[in-house]
Structure 1
Amino acid sequence: MSVVSPEDRLDAAREQAALWCVRLADDDLSRAEHEELQAWFDADETHRGLLDDAVTAWRAIEEQAASPGMIALRGEALEDLRRAQRERWARPAQRPALWTALAASLVVAVAAGVAWRASLPDVYRTTEGERRIVELADGSRASLDSATVLKVKYESGRRRLWLDSGRAKFSVAKDPLRPFSVAAGDKLVVATGTVFSVERLTGQMRVVLYEGHVAVLDDRTGRSETPVPIRIGAVPAEKLLTPDHELVTSTSSDATVVSPTDPARARSWENGQLVFQDEPMDLAVERVNRYARDKLRIGDPGVGRLRISGVFTSGDTGAFVDGVTAVLPVHAVAANGVTVLKIDRGQKNSAPAGVSSTS
């Protein structure tokens, strides 16, 4: 007398759940089939949950069917379906053969789909006006600014992150054997245990170091195994980046600048403030727009070159526009949910240095 192990019994129940999932997807069940399904539920209280899992996996595969990683798998499953259908119509009495073939395809598809999804990075995102703190698997913490997309994938030998847009500050758990790297375009910031922020803006990446040490690298090949240090003259940039300093590097050239920064000002966005200190208007508008549903747009190149200093509440776009138009040679034109900033020609010869008041 053979003894069935609990593992084999569970595998058999999962296969039966996959079979029922296919039968439910294939057609309406007859009354006899409904009774058979109910009897299977009654036989073991775990069966209903296994069927729910199979249905969830089936729907997930349908949702991802157009994704590149599932195209080949989908083609194989469709071919299995066509072959099983041909057998079904050739031998109508052998309907279970169709179900068995499709159940097998579902089991394979679920396993492949789960493996494929496991290979993808986790994605964390914020919308306009939203900030979020994410606790990562290794104990590190990422603080996401508004309108930010961060991807995270941890592997045995390294911790890899990609900042697709926006800004994030990282408090990195120390693990010298697993470097913590953040890619932003063709730039790579590598740390083992430190506190720093990375920001993506049009045409540039900014790194502020608060504690510890980071290496800022060129990664133009897109492969983290081959990046090289960004250099300022003959000196690698990471040698110049010490705490309370900011590195600004162009994404379209080799231009890189390192300068001291006020740590309180650099962290102000986490407290809901936007602090500008003699910064160009195009950069200020890009940051303001992270928090705004109704966007600002620079309608004149001259506006983008003006410099601005001031403190504003993030999300209060109206106060920013009022402050800018009050002291800069700029006027605002609102239309269709967008406010366009243009040079006020009547004031162009009396432009002040910036906004000095607090709004």
Structure 2
Amino acid sequence: MDLPRRSVPDRLATQAAEWVARHDLGTVDPAAFEEWRGRSPAHALAFARAYAAWEKVGSGIGLDAEQGGARADLSFSRRAMMRAAGAAGLIVLAGGGMAVSRAYAWDRVETGIGETRKLRLPDGSLLALNTDSSVAWRVKGGKRILRLERGEMALEVSPKGPPLLLEGEDVKISLTSGLFNARLMPGGIDVMVLRGEARSAGQAEGSDLRPEAAGAYRMLSLTDAGPRISPASELQVAATLAWQSGEILFQDEPLSAAIGEYNRYLERKIVIADPALGAIRVGGRFTSTDPTIFFEALDATLDIQASPSDEGFLLTRKNN
């Protein structure tokens, strides 16, 4: 059972983000889109805002306009149609103080739980870190190496230089200039390509696995078992946009998975008291660092209450 959106504007924001993703993926039904957008001024405004956010991602996450470049993966006609439907704008990646340290010729930056950071690297690339993340980098001797040590990041790779080598635990990926989202997963790393190309650069020493390359709107998943390439779904693209604007997006997911995702952003963790509750399907768009509205939705539609505990919040069935 899906949770209700926080409000009509929030529901429209989710729908608008999905329409933008369909435009960019080339799967949009123009008639259906025009019908949706024409339902009310609120629908048109929601799409304009979503398109403004996507324009910011498409042209880079904060680089100078000339570095954003033309998006080779997006046809002029599709881009023109989107421009006609929306207006230019900005995704805000929350900034803040930066704690950068130098150790063993590597620079490093990290975020705490619930924090995001952004930073321009020495080669001109732009890095944005999600909650509870850590990355180290080295630019030396014509080589660009970035090591994702924990968490998730968005990365705009500058065209000034050779391909950038992204390292995870025992895996390496070569990135051309472009726009990417990378997240460490148990046993490997997932890289979503929004622009450019990601190519597996090798596994552990002695591996005979062949490299694989992923282009725009593809996901490259790399583990010790080898690379796997899959299409980036509209929901995955929308979820990537969501974290970059301080939100979290669920769509028909088990409550246990939704809680696991939410807990990435919370110092005080959410615990499901009854394991049977974890299988209930939920959906919605919420603020990532404040679960208050999420709890209210659980209470109103699923009779699940959130009670404060010593370490966080406990989810239980309401007593009838």
* Short-chain TM bin: 0.5 to 0.7
Which one of the candidate residues 116, 125, 145 is aligned to 1:131? 116
Taking the TM superposition and a 5 Å limit, the aligned residue runs for 1:96-107 are none
The match for 2:215 among 224, 227, 242 is 242
Q: In 2 relative to 1, CA 118–293 (structure 1 residues): closer, same or farther, beyond 3 Å?
A: closer
Give the C-alpha shift of residue 322 in structure 1: 3.0
Residues 175-227 of structure 1 show CA distances to partners (whole Å, capped at 9, x for unaligned) of 45x33122222332211211101012445632211101111355234x9xx78
Alignment of 1:297 onto 2:261? no
Output one character per residue of 1:265-287: Cα deviation in whole Å (capped at 9) or x when no partner: 42221111111223344443233
1:269 partner SS: helix
Distance in structure 2 (CA, Å) of the matches to 1:264 and 1:254: 27
Give the match for residue 189 of structure 1. Answer: 173
**Counterpart of 2:15?**
none
Report the Cα distance in structure 1 between the residues aligned to 2:133 and 2:148, rounded to whole angstroms: 8
CA change 1:255–1:155 in 2 (3 A) is closer
Structure (1 or 2) with the greater strand fraction = 2
Provide the secondary structure at the position in 2 that maps to 1:183. Answer: strand
User: In the alignment, what sits opposite 2:147?
Assistant: 162
What amino acid does structure 2 have at the position aligned with 1:219? Answer: Q
2:135 matches 1:150: yes
2:183 is the alignment partner of 1:199? yes
Q: Which amino acid aligns with 2:197?
A: H
- Which amino acid in the other structure matches residue 195 of structure 1? L
Partner residue, 1:321: 295
Residues of 1 paired with 2:136 and 2:275: CA distance?
34
- Structure 2 distance, partners of 1:156, 1:171, is 21
Specify the alignment match of 1:261 in structure 2: 233
Letter in 2 for 1:337: E
Give me the whole-angstrom Cα distance separating, in 1, the residues matched to 2:210 and 2:257. Answer: 26
How many angstroms apart in 2 are the aligned matches of 1:145 and 1:290?
10
Give 1:268's aligned amino acid: A
Q: Distance in 2 between matches of 1:200 and 1:121?
A: 20
Q: From the superposition, tell whether residues 265 and 148 of structure 1 become closer, same or farther in structure 2 (CA, over 3 Å).
A: same
Cα distance 1:193–1:184, how it changes in 2: closer, same or farther (>3 A)? same
TM-score between the two structures when normalised by the length of structure 2: 0.57
* Count of matched residue pairs: 217
Equivalent residue for 2:282, pick from 308, 319, 324: 308
Partner of 2:289, secondary structure, is coil
State the Cα distance separating 1:312 from its structure 2 match: 0.7
Three-state SS of the structure 2 residue aligned to 1:316 is coil
Does 1:215 find its partner at 2:189? no
Q: Do 2:171 and 2:188's aligned partners in 1 also have CA atoms closer than 8 Å?
A: no
Shift of 1:173: 0.8
C-alpha displacement at 1:306, in angstroms?
4.3
Q: Secondary structure at the match of 1:190?
A: strand
> Are 1:172 and 2:157 counterparts?
yes
Q: Which residue of 2 aligns with 1:119?
A: 104
Higher relative contact order (CA 8 A, sep 6+): 2
What one-letter code is carried by the residue in structure 2 that aligns with 1:123? R
* Displacement after TM superposition at 1:243 (Å): 1.6
Alpha-carbon distance in structure 2 between the residues aligned to 1:329 and 1:252: 43
**1:17-42 CA distances to partner (integer Å, 9 max, x unpaired)?**
xxxxxxxxxxxxxxxxxxxxxxxxxx
Judge which range, 137-146 or 322-331, deviates more.
Answer: 322-331
- Aligned-residue CA RMSD (Å): 3.3
- Identity across matched positions, percent: 25
> 1:201, 1:283 within 8 Å by CA — same for their partners in 2?
no
Which consecutive segments of 4 or more residues in structure 1 shift more than 6 A? none
SS at match of 1:290: helix
- Tell me the distance in 2 between the aligned counterparts of 1:247 and 1:219: 14
**In structure 2, what residue type is equivalent to 1:286?**
G
Name the structure where helix makes up a greater proportion of residues.
1
Seen in structure 2, the aligned counterparts of structure 1 residues 260 and 118 have a Cα distance that, compared at 3 Å, is closer
Worse overlay, 306-315 or 135-144 = 306-315
C-alpha distance in structure 2 between counterparts of 1:160 and 1:286, whole Å: 30
Tell me: CA distance 1:159–1:299, structure 2 relative to 1, closer, same or farther (3 Å): farther
Residues in 1 aligned to 2:242 and 2:232: alpha-carbon distance in whole angstroms: 16
1:330 Cα offset (Å): 5.0
The residue that corresponds to 1:75 in the other structure is: none
Kept after mapping to 1: 8 A contact 2:247/2:286: yes
Contact 1:281 1:303 in 2 (8 A): yes
Q: Which residue of 2 aligns with 1:279?
A: 253
User: TM-score with structure 1 length normalisation?
Assistant: 0.52
What is the alpha-carbon distance in structure 1 between the residues aligned to residue 133 and residue 208 of structure 2?
Answer: 24
2:155–2:181 Cα contact (<8 Å) kept: yes
